[in-house]
Amino acid sequence: MTISIVIPALDEGEAIARVISAVRGEALEVIVVDGGSHDDTVDVARANGARVLRAKRGRASQMNAGAGLAQGDVVVFLHADTLLPEGWHAAIVRTLARTRRGWGRFDVRFDSSGPMLAMVSSAMNARSALTGICTGDQAMFVSRSIWRQVDGFAPISLMEDIELSARLRRLVGRPARIRPCATTSSRRWRERGVVRTIIEMWVLRAAFRLGVDPERLYRRYYG
C-alpha cells in the first residue's frame, strides 16, 4: 500500500523541514500546498524533497489541490506543525486492513508538557472516539477510492475537517483509530491561552452545527 502525504502550508518555514523529513522515507510522495507564504516555506519544502504546489489560501482549497494530484493508495492530510509517530506507515496499513473502514486518524498530543494541555489532548482523543469526528491535528487519512466518493473537502473557510468527517462517517462508519500519537504544536494554545481557546472552539463548533456561515466563523477566530 502506497501513501501520499499532503501538507497545507502558510508561512511555516521554521517547522516544515522537520515535518517533511519525518515522513519522506516511507511516503510515496510528500506534497506541500502553499497558500501564499511570505517566508521561505516554498524553498525549504523543495530543498527537503517535497513537491510544491500553490493554491488559493485556505486549508480546504489547499488540501483538495494536493489530494487531486496524489498518487498513493491512501492520502494523509498532515498539518505543517504536526509530526507523525515512528512506524506511522505500517500503522496505517495494518489499521486499514484490520478495520476495512477506508479512513481514520491518529490520537494526538501536544509538544509542550503540562497538565492542562495533557487534559486537552486526552479530551480531544476521547471526543473523537465517541463522536467519530476528526480534527486536522489528528492527521486524518483516507483511501483514494473513498476520497473520490466524497469529492473532497467542502469549499469552506473553517471546520472543513469536521464537515468531511461527518460525511465519511455517514458513508463508511466511524474512523479507524491509531493510538500512537501524532505530536502537534501547542503554539496556538499558548498564545491565546488554554481556557480561552477551549471556550472559543466550543462556541465555534456549536455555531457551525447551528448553521452559521463558516466564513463568518473564520473571521471571528482569525480576526
Mean of pLDDT values over 102-124: 90
Domain range enclosing 136? 3-108+125-185
Whole-model pTM: value is 0.91
Residue 166 within a domain? yes
Q: CA nearest 178: which of 127, 135, 212, 138?
A: 138
- Name the more confident of 210 and 147: 147
Comparing 98-112, 149-163, 197-211, which segment has the lowest mean pLDDT? 197-211
- DSSP secondary-structure letter at 85? P
Residue 95 within a domain? yes
Q: How far apart are CA 166 and CA 217, in angstroms?
A: 18
pLDDT of residue 166: 93
Helical residues (DSSP H) of the chain, grouped into ranges: 16-24, 41-47, 59-69, 88-99, 115-131, 144-150, 160-172, 187-192, 194-209, 214-222
Residue 201 within a domain? no
Does the pLDDT value for residue 196 go beyond 90?
Answer: no
Q: How confident is the model at residue 223 (pLDDT cuts 50, 70, 90)?
A: low
Residue 193 within a domain? no
Q: How confident is the model at residue 174 (pLDDT cuts 50, 70, 90)?
A: very high
**The Cα angle at residue 122 between residues 119 and 127, in degrees rounded to 5:** 120
Q: How far apart are CA 103 and CA 100, in angstroms?
A: 8
Kindly report the CATH number assigned to the domain that includes residue 177. Answer: 3.90.550.10
Residue 214 exposed, middle or buried by CB count within 10 Å (0-12, 13-18, 19+): buried
pLDDT of residue 110: 92
Residues in the chain: 223
pLDDT of residue 222: 65
DSSP codes of every residue in 105-150? EEEEEESS--HHHHHHHHHHHHHHHHH----GGG--EEEHHHHHHH
Q: What order do you get walking across the sheet with 74-77 strand by strand?
A: 51-54, 29-34, 3-9, 74-77, 141-143, 103-110, 176-184, 82-83
Does the pLDDT value for residue 158 go beyond 90?
Answer: no
Mean of pLDDT values over 1-29: 94
Does the pLDDT value for residue 97 go beyond 90?
Answer: yes
Residue 221 neighbours by CB under 8 Å, 6+ apart: 158, 200, 204
Q: How confident is the model at residue 91 (pLDDT cuts 50, 70, 90)?
A: very high
Q: Residue 79, SS3?
A: coil
Average pLDDT value for the chain: 90
Q: How far apart are CA 160 and CA 153, in angstroms?
A: 6
% the chain with pLDDT above 90:
69
Pairing of strands 82-83, 3-9: unpaired
Domain tally for the chain? Answer: 1
Residue 34 within a domain? yes
